[in-house]
Chains A and B, each alone.
Chain A
Amino acid sequence: MQAFEYASPRSLQEAIRLLPAQWGPTDVLAGGTDLVSAMKDGISTPQRLVNIKQIAELHRMTFSPRAGLHIGATVTLRELLDDGAVQQHYPGLIQAAEAARSEQLLNMGTVGGELLQRPRCWYYRNGYGLLALRDGKSLVPEGENQYHAILGNAGPAYFVSPSFLAPILIALGATVQLHGPRGARSLPVQKLFVTPTRVGQREHDLAPNEILTEIRVPYRPGVRTAVYEIREKEALDWPLAMAAVALRQEGGVLRDPRVVLGQVAPVPWPSPEAERTLTGKKPSEDLADAAGRAAVAQATPLSKNGYKVQLARIAVKRAILSAVQQGG
């Protein structure tokens, strides 16, 4: 790892002042679970780290039925899991966070860092850049693409968005607050994620000198949620596909269904096709199955990841069935 300067400001304004306007020389340090390993691997080579864990306002979590849930960016996954209000009102968030099956990750990893962690694509992690280029050509289509994208993969980006929390946050209609030199802005979580189209572009709509400060999740009583993911290992591992679902039942039929897939595309992947299949219908196994099929109808698998189409379909189906079976 290359030597670096370490700053640990106590105020948000000070932290933003320490961040330059271009990527590279400086990185925001939250729990460090992703960033520090990327630094060890020479994937990130910052000359300065700006630790944001000393900034008190980033570490608050509040809930009220009117305002919903506000999660400060440096709230850890463990703190999220242990919170009574989250347990009571947001079971889907609990399900998603529990998927990080490592006590070390839960204790150190922050909710903001979880959303902004970099992709796990093994070409990227081995130094070939986010677009996995060698001599201007992507290594993915003819390479080892068994863990790569099956949707939104027209190129040049083939990696999958790694966040576990994003799909359920999107399904719940959550927003993120970003602070930069010119003040604050708010984005739906979906809009935080972008598919890069050229070298140098990141996979987040976040300026180098912006800090993600808070995640806001509306309170929607009566909404049922579920997350279902499929992975090779039960122990620490990355899912091959996951699906988050939020829906209501009214007079025996489904209303306002939201279906968002994870780990299948360079961004979290909402499926309006699945949502249309569900809207106004009576829940059943066949319906869930049809929604699963609709969700992957447009999939364009690569040479070695066709099986992920099936897994995504099953994840959607099982998440829907699980949400329907839940109370509330």
Chain B
Amino acid sequence: MASCKYDWPAAGQRDAIGKSTDRIDGPAKVSGRAKYTYDINRPGMLFGKMLTCPHAHAKIKSIDVSPALKHPGVKAALVIQDVGSEIQWAGDEIAAVAAVDEATAEDAVRLIRVEYDVLPHLVREENLSKDGDRAKPAGEQKVGDPDKAFADPEAVISEGFYGIPVITHCCLETHGNVVEWRGADSILTHSSTQNVSGIPSQLGAALRAKKINVQDSNIETICQYIGGGFGSKFSIDRWGVVAAELSKQAGGKPVKLMLDRDEDLEVAGARPSYFGHVKVAASKDGTLTAWSSETWGTGGPGPSGVPPVPYILTNIPNIYKKHTSVSTNIGPARAWRAPNHPQACLMTLAALDDLAAKLAMDAMEFLQKNIHLAPSYLVNTYQQELSKAAELSEWSKYWHPRGDKTPGHLKRGLGVSLHTWGGRGHAGSCNVIVRPDGSVTVQSGTQDLGTGTRTVIAVVAASTFGLPVDAIQVEIGDSRYPFDGASGGSTTVGAASAWTRRGSVDALNELFAAVAPSLGVQANQLEARDGRIQVQGNPSKSLSWKDACAKLGAKTIHTVGKNPGPCNLGSVGVGGVQVADVTVDTETGKVKINRLVAVQDCGLIIDKLTAESQVYGGLIMGVCYSLFEEKVMDQTIGRMLNANMEFYKLAGIGDIGGELIVHMMTGPGYDERGVIGLGEPPVISPGAAISNAVANAIGVRVSQLPLTPRRVLAALAKGGIA
């Protein structure tokens, strides 16, 4: 069967691939030996702090950093944005200092004098009629004849308003770097980044633009562990360049410049908002006929990105949609786990759920009935996943028509949602090194965001070499290793599994060639199994891995694995279905999660345990934005009010509440697609699933996330069963 030499082994011969392997860096993390950028302290290190703008929109009239520079203990100070610069959000960086300790740096920052011309700002966009000329058309599209479809007297039509506010990334490790010059022309950075291989050229270009000469090849970036990125850590960012400049000014001394928690929440990550009026129509038997949406959102001063609606059911025959992008002074948007998808998912799946309720149809049945409108390659997957999710959630036992009619103030409900994502492996590479003593190393300038990249590399190499997982040494997180792409778009597992496989197969073939003579066969008659190199089907003619490697003599095998490359090791496009089971207290408006069921496909699974963990993490992050998260801006002062962990609310264990049930689709129909990314998909559906479950429980739609007591009670006041 295996027609291509790098193909994944057939089922039954995959060794550790597809089984559950503990993450190999787990012990380092739980014991505190794992060093994050925040933990890096270099000899003679200085601390950088920045002065940020208190106004949401202003022009710099004058700036003077000299008092800071004169402050004892200050070793460097610089202007980041000079006189005349227009500042578009509060918290934007204006000037910076580096000093012998953090307190001195903070004191010095306070000595910097800046005068601003304050300009008018807009920081709240949910009311489009008040957004004025900040609102700009961002696309209008028509398919079929939606007007006619909605005018059909037989059509059942549902209309609603739905919304999801700006949230922030809230990485538990804030953004930042420790940067130092090694001599006049070489830089070392420790960076909290999703993009180890990409940072040197970003930093090099930024410095050269400031007439500071350094070659990309002389910049090394290290990131062994990262405390969260979620799409907000692809760039060196202005503060990284500033750290390099401060270090240069201070004679090359290392400068640690990590954002404070409030800075991080204000400026280092925002997911665009999405609000809109949606109208959907179906024929009386529940077949969808038309979609119409007028939506808007903000991504800060720049464009907001356009969520893809109608989501999943893209083949609805009649579609009208119009999007407006509102430019605001809230700080720039950054990619947030599955950019635009959670927003599109809520807007679509909530509207469809409302239509199903209007049709008096079971929501699960309604989706099954219309799933043929999804892209054809996903239809089968969704059909199977919807059935599986119904089974695992005991849908037929717990689902009821809208509004739990049982007496009392506790109402239970179920909601369903589905999602999709791409996830093809990015371009990248690795070294595979097999030494005469039998040791095996895989090196790559990739990064492990906590998603299990290290472990995936070890599992693939070990399974290829017929070795235990702990026999593989994995070295990543350093830009001096072979280039790998940034970890975004769920592209890392597809890349890392493929380049490891290709490099390992090539290395194994070199090893076969070296040992074949001593076993008296051709290299192509050998196989690697259970720690031995043996003649295929004849274990009695074999050498232990160690003895086999000893045949290399003085030679070390070094191959380079690449992606993309020959043979199909991965593909693109996954589907997932989630069901939420909630109880709502109709007197307090509090939503409690009873169960969340996630059924997910990601092609061939490398490590089942870390794959499932990824889904659990997605569900938990989903509960956070469904129930709690919101970047609260005050229109008068133009600032974020909850730039702290106290009022920027994230779920604790007690808030996750009940059971999380995760089921990965595997086996025939899934495995042969090869490896596909999983980082983003599971976080897309929770908003819609939980919102739908709440509507099912209380009989009325809570139109906006997060589903706080305030919003739930407001919805109940307008209707519902309470």
Residues in chain A within 8 A of chain B (CB atoms): 1-3, 101, 120, 122-123, 125-126, 128, 134, 139, 142-144, 146-147, 230, 232-238, 240, 304-305, 307, 310-311, 314
Q: CB distance B637 to A134 under 8 Å?
A: yes
Closest to B711 in A: A307
Mark out the residues of chain B between 116 and 168 whose CB falls within 8 Å of any chain A CB in the assembled complex: none
Q: CB distance A144 to B649 under 8 Å?
A: no
Q: CB distance A144 to B634 under 8 Å?
A: yes
Q: Which residues of B contact A235 (CB under 8 A)?
A: 651-655
Mark out the residues of chain B between 669 and 714 whose CB falls within 8 Å of any chain A CB in the assembled complex: 708-710, 713-714
Tell me if B106 is interfacial: C-beta within 8 Å of chain A: yes
Q: CB distance A310 to B636 under 8 Å?
A: no
Q: CB distance A146 to B587 under 8 Å?
A: no
Q: CB distance A234 to B652 under 8 Å?
A: yes
Q: Which residues of B contact A123 (CB under 8 A)?
A: 634, 641
Q: CB distance A1 to B589 under 8 Å?
A: no
* Set B646, B651, B653, B657: member contacting A120, Cβ < 8 A: B646
Q: CB distance A314 to B588 under 8 Å?
A: yes
Per DSSP, are chain B's interface residues mostly helix, strand or loop, or mixed?
A: loop
Kindly state the separation between the CA atoms of A3 and B709 in the bound complex, as whole angstroms.
42
Residues in chain B within 8 A of chain A (CB atoms): 103, 106-107, 587-590, 627-628, 632, 634-637, 639, 641-642, 644, 646-647, 649, 651-655, 657, 708-710, 713-714
Q: Which residues of B contact A125 (CB under 8 A)?
A: 644
Q: CB distance A126 to B649 under 8 Å?
A: no
Kindly state the separation between the CA atoms of A93 and B714 in the bound complex, as whole angstroms.
33
Q: CB distance A126 to B652 under 8 Å?
A: no
Q: CB distance B637 to A311 under 8 Å?
A: no
Q: CB distance A237 to B649 under 8 Å?
A: yes
Kindly state the separation between the CA atoms of A2 and B108 in the bound complex, as whole angstroms.
11
Q: CB distance A1 to B103 under 8 Å?
A: yes
Nearest-neighbour CB distance to chain A for B44, whole angstroms, equals 23
Q: Which residues of A contact B644 (CB under 8 A)?
A: 125
Q: Which residues of B contact A240 (CB under 8 A)?
A: 709
Instruction: Give the top 6 A-B pairs by smallest Cβ distance, nearest first.
Output: A235-B652, A234-B654, A122-B641, A307-B710, A307-B713, A314-B587
Q: CB distance A233 to B632 under 8 Å?
A: no
Nearest-neighbour CB distance to chain B for A319, whole angstroms, equals 13
* Set A144, A232, A234, A238: member contacting B641, Cβ < 8 A: A144
Most-contacted residue by chain B among A232, A235, A237 (CB, 10 A): A232
Closest to A142 in B: B636
Q: CB distance A144 to B588 under 8 Å?
A: no
- Known contacts A142-B636, A143-B634, A314-B587; is-contact A230 B103 (Cβ 8 Å): no
Kindly state the separation between the CA atoms of A275 and B635 in the bound complex, as whole angstroms.
41
Show 19 residue pairs from A and B whose CB-CB distance is below 8 angstroms, ordered by the A residue: A2-B107, A3-B103, A126-B637, A139-B636, A143-B636, A144-B634, A146-B710, A230-B588, A230-B709, A232-B628, A232-B708, A233-B652, A233-B654, A234-B655, A236-B646, A307-B713, A310-B587, A311-B588, A311-B589
Q: Which residues of A contact B655 (CB under 8 A)?
A: 233-235
Q: Which residues of A contact B587 (CB under 8 A)?
A: 310, 314
Q: Which residues of B contact A144 (CB under 8 A)?
A: 632, 634, 641
Nearest-neighbour CB distance to chain A for B121, whole angstroms, equals 14
Given A2-B107, A305-B710, A307-B710; 15 other pairs, CB 8 A cutoff: A101-B652, A120-B646, A122-B641, A126-B641, A128-B637, A139-B636, A144-B641, A232-B708, A233-B651, A234-B652, A304-B710, A307-B714, A310-B588, A310-B589, A311-B588
